[in-house]
Amino acid sequence: MLHTNRVGGYHGPPPGRGTSRRALGPAAHSGLYFARRAGLVGVLTAVAVLAELLLVRVLVTAEFGHTVATGPLLAAMFAMTGVPLVTAGLHGLMTGAAATAPDRWSVWLRTPLAYLPVGLVLLLAAGLAAG
């Protein structure tokens, strides 16, 4: 017996009556992100949060010190922007986002890996501003 929806389309038997939603196998999924290596996310996040806390101290000291120091202020702002981008890019690189693309150079223009070079440029700008 087939199950119909309101507009009369046929979708097969209703779910939950002897059918499995995983009938297509583990490789076929609905496009949702499945977390792999959850420990890696925790370690990357912990390092990023620690770096951000240290950068907040530099930012506050440069902004509200006796005189405003523009070099450390710009360095802290660039680094605070770059650290989360590098973290997201490293996560994409470590979980295999580069291996899924057919072209090895175009993958760096898509989101998980595009954050990595942008974040590295911001960290380089922070180093130049501090020096």
Q: Model pTM?
A: 0.69
| Residue % of the chain over a pLDDT of 70 | 72
Residue 74 lies in a domain: yes
DSSP helix/strand/coil, 55? helix
Total domains in the chain come to 1
| 87: containing domain | 38-130
Residue 26 lies in a domain: no
More confident residue, 12 or 106: 106
Residue 5 lies in a domain: no
Residue 124 lies in a domain: yes
CA distance 101 to 111: 12
Confidence check: pLDDT of 60 > 70? yes
CA distance 53 to 59: 10
- Give per-residue pLDDT as tens, 73-92: 999 999 999 999 999 999 98
Burial class (CB in 10 A: 0-12, 13-18, 19+), 125: middle
Residue type present at position 62: A
Nearest Cα to 96, choosing from 52, 33, 46, 15? 33
Residue 33 lies in a domain: no
Residue 101 lies in a domain: yes
CA distance 103 to 105: 6
Give the number of residues written for the chain. 131
Residue 68 lies in a domain: yes
Residue type present at position 57: R
